[in-house]
Amino acid sequence: MVTINVQNLNKKLKKNVVLRDVNYNFRPGTIYGIYGRNGSGKTMLLRALAGLIYPDSGKILINNEILHEDISFPPSIGLTIENTSLLPQYDAYTNLKILSKIKKVASDDDIKRAIKRVGLDPNSKLKVRKFSLGMRQRLSIAQAIFEEPEFILLDEPTNALDDSGVELVRSLLLEEKQRGATILIASHNKEDLEILSDYKVKIEEGMIVSE
């Protein structure tokens, strides 16, 4: 179980303020739906929580450890974020197998189960370069969950999926919540947010304006 505490977080990129005085507590076993207009700071908040961007001021505490001081990244994290792709020259299984060698917490069975859960064939030798957009998105979600992380950050997870894919991902995320994971979903899809979110968080110009 992971607790995430954001305190007075501010971030400027060049001259644009992308996060402004963000304060929030994310509780374990909860799904948070983050919404707002394009460029409002949804993805930046996910990046900050993942440890990918360095705050100008304020801090993020993950289980009471300060991000960028005590730890570089949340210790148990799954992430899908825009413009992030998998290795096109390998099949689905090999892509996750390569990643599994870093932390060594997921077995071959865990990898195959995660691929199956997103509706792909773990034994298929089809290279990712031949995947459709929807298949890539499914694999990207499998990549985020196959190590059973405590903290899952998903940017537009159902964007390129067909109806059956959307249903599959929704039920998968609800299962992950049952497991105790803290899940943040940044999305424009109101239906996704209605069905999945325990709390909806609105962001405007880098600020959390309503919950």
Partner 1 sequence: MKNRGMIIVVIFAIVGHSIINYKYLSFRYEDYSSAFFLLGIPGETEYTLFIFWYFVFVSISFYFSGEVSELLSGYGKYVIIRNYHKGKWISRRYLLALLRLTIFPLILMLVAFIVSVLSSEEMENYYLTTEIIISFVIYCLVYCNLIFLQLYLEMFITPQIALLIVNIYVIVSVLLGGLIIKFEKGMFLMPILIPNISMSLRRDYIYLTDSISICYLLLIGLTIFFLSYRKFTTKDIL
Choosing from 2, 34, 47, 203, the residue that interacts with partner 1 (CB under 8 A) is 47
Give the residue among 73, 116, 112 at the shortest CA–CA distance from 94: 112
Residue 25 touches partner 1, criterion: CB under 8 A: no
Q: In what order do the strands lie in the sheet with 4-13?
A: 16-26, 4-13, 57-62, 65-66
> Looking at 1-9, 79-87, 107-115, 184-192, which segment touches partner 1 (CB under 8 A)?
79-87
CA distance 5 to 27: 9
Residue with smaller CB distance to partner 1, 84 or 123: 84
In the structure encoding, which two tokens stand for residue 185, read together? 């979903």
CB of 190 to partner 1, least distance (A): 27
| Residue 64 sits in the site that holds partner 1 (CB under 8 A) | no
Q: Does 54 bind partner 1 (CB under 8 A)?
A: yes
For the beta sheet containing 31-35, the strands, ordered from the edge strand earlier in sequence to the opposite edge, are: 77-80, 151-155, 182-186, 31-35, 199-204, 207-210
| CA geometry: angle 130, 135, 136, nearest 5 deg | 80
Stretch that binds partner 1, among 21-29, 66-74, 154-162, 167-175 (CB under 8 A): 66-74
Nearer to partner 1, 56 or 162 (CB): 56
> Cα(36)–Cα(122) distance, rounded to whole angstroms?
36
Rg (CA), the chain: 17
Asked if 84 is part of the footprint of partner 1 (rule: CB under 8 A), the reply reads yes
Q: Is 181 in the site for partner 1 (CB under 8 A)?
A: no
Nearest CB to partner 1, comparing residues 103 and 125: 103
**Is residue 103 a contact residue for partner 1 (CB under 8 A)?**
yes
- Angle formed at CA 56 by CA 198 and CA 20, multiple of 5 degrees: 45
> In the complex, what is the shortest distance from the CB of residue 142 to partner 1, in angstroms, rounded to a whole number?
12
Can you tell me which residue has the tokens 């994290």? 77
Between 47 and 177, whose beta carbon lies closer to partner 1? Answer: 47
Footprint of partner 1 (CB under 8 A) = 13, 47, 50-54, 71-75, 77, 79, 81, 83-87, 99, 102-103, 143
